[in-house]
Amino acid sequence: MALLVFWQTTTAPASSGGWFTAPIVAAAIVTSTMTIAGMALKDYVFKVLEERRSNRRQQSAIYERYSHALVSAADYLQVRLYEILCQKHRSVYLLGKGLSISPDTGSDYRAYKKLSTVYRLAAVLGWIRACRREFSYLRVADPGRAKGIHKAINDFERALADGSWVERERISRLCKLWHFSNADCIDKGPNAEELATHVDNLIWENLDRRQLEPASSPLDDAARRMLCRTIADYISSYLHTDQVGIDVMERTWPKAFEILSIRETWIYRDWQSAIGDMMIRKAESDTRKYEVIGFGDFEELVESEGPKQLRALERLSQIFDDLDLDTDHRFDARPSQLLAVAKANASLILAIDEIQGKRSIVSEHSKEWARQILKKEQTRHIDF
């Protein structure tokens, strides 16, 4: 229509003035063009919006299929973490190392409790992995109602994997120990993370040559003193301040080495995925594609002594090995790590409960425990 009007206008005799004036012709062209573009844009936008809505519906359906199992596993883990972190003298079963089913310290009951604790953490990783596998074909930019679940899962994985806060804490404590004049700006400075990373690399460059870990290093005093001197010189150079004097270093290096030797056990995200894959199997029902193995199968997995399986599970076990929470751990990051895991787990329980609404299987008692964990302050902190 617009082209016809344009042709009629341009071919009409000049004396006749045309059938339409120029402004009307221009308006008709613009209107027609906008109409055509609007139709095309509407089709595209509607298609995109419908695809997003479809993905969100599919995501909601996946959560619906897995929410009961996931929240049940998270609830079992919460019971154990609440016992470990909030009840004194109840976590003695964490003393000792490894995944041995036979008792290494104490009774069969303690051996079971240790293995059960590892299983409950692995089970949550398994259900998370099952969800992620089904999510892999979805493209959902906005998780919508599931936003709280997404955040809780991400926080859970981050708590197990991310130790950057320990690196920053280490730098802060060393600066205070050696009285660097501008140490107060380290925590808030833009280069704090860069300095912390460099120092962490220096530690491992010195210790890796001897195939050692800081927490159990048999280095002699001369080697320990040299490592502390290397770190101190690097920090002073980075901060453009005076070096640590010989007398000060001689007096402080034992404390500095303890700071460098803080115990860390991180389960990196790819390790978490590997553990999750090990914990799931194809489901026999049509309700969902995957399910997590039971405790009996988990025991058989531990007893089978498969090198790949044991390597992954031993990494998980190390979070709890030799962990005595009845005393303040001055050089152990794991109590803070476990509290972060517990808080993310509590948030996950409450987020699923909110989505399930009246159909929720979360008891009032579990919700109350979750709220208590979220309010809990870090009482067992790294105190140098």
List the structure tokens of 268.
């990196």
Please indicate, yes or no, if residue 382 is contained in any of the structural domains: no
Same domain as 295, residue 223: no
Band (pLDDT 50/70/90 cuts) for residue 377 is confident
Same domain as 274, residue 155: yes
Please indicate, yes or no, if residue 333 is contained in any of the structural domains: yes
- CA 55 to CA 49: how far, in whole Å? 10
Please indicate, yes or no, if residue 198 is contained in any of the structural domains: yes
Same domain as 213, residue 72: no
CB 70 within 8 A of CB 131: yes
| CA–CA distances in Å: residue 160 to residues 32, 44, 172, 242 | 59, 42, 22, 38
Same domain as 78, residue 156: yes
**Percent of the residues in the chain that have a pLDDT greater than 90, as a whole number:** 35
Same domain as 299, residue 370: yes
CB 303 within 8 A of CB 98: no
From 29-33, 97-101, 209-213, 291-295, the region with the lowest mean pLDDT: 209-213
Domain boundary among 230, 260, 290: 260
Given a cut of 70, is residue 56 above it in pLDDT?
no
Please indicate, yes or no, if residue 380 is contained in any of the structural domains: no
Given a cut of 50, is residue 326 above it in pLDDT?
yes
Given a cut of 50, is residue 184 above it in pLDDT?
yes
Same domain as 323, residue 226: no
- CA 333 to CA 263: how far, in whole Å? 6
Domain boundary among 260, 281, 315: 260
Please indicate, yes or no, if residue 84 is contained in any of the structural domains: yes
Same domain as 127, residue 105: yes
Same domain as 16, residue 114: no
- CA 65 to CA 52: how far, in whole Å? 20
Given a cut of 60, is residue 217 above it in pLDDT?
no
Same domain as 283, residue 330: yes
Given a cut of 80, is residue 181 above it in pLDDT?
no
List the structure tokens of 317.
């076990």
- CA 196 to CA 216: how far, in whole Å? 22
The domain total for the chain is 3
From 183-187, 251-255, 271-275, 308-312, the region with the lowest mean pLDDT: 183-187
List the structure tokens of 145.
């109602």
From 214-223, 276-285, 338-347, 364-373, the region with the lowest mean pLDDT: 214-223
Please indicate, yes or no, if residue 383 is contained in any of the structural domains: no
Same domain as 279, residue 150: yes
Average pLDDT, the chain: 80
- CA 133 to CA 273: how far, in whole Å? 10
- CA 310 to CA 303: how far, in whole Å? 9
Given a cut of 80, is residue 170 above it in pLDDT?
yes
Please indicate, yes or no, if residue 304 is contained in any of the structural domains: yes
143, 247, 235: which is closest to 191 by C-alpha?
A: 235
Please indicate, yes or no, if residue 321 is contained in any of the structural domains: yes
Same domain as 279, residue 146: yes
Given a cut of 50, is residue 130 above it in pLDDT?
yes
Same domain as 226, residue 359: no
What residue numbers bound the domain in which 195 lies? 165-260
Domain boundary among 233, 260, 287: 260
Averaged over 56-68, what is the pLDDT? 69
| pTM of the entire predicted model | 0.76
> What is the structure's pLDDT at 35?
73
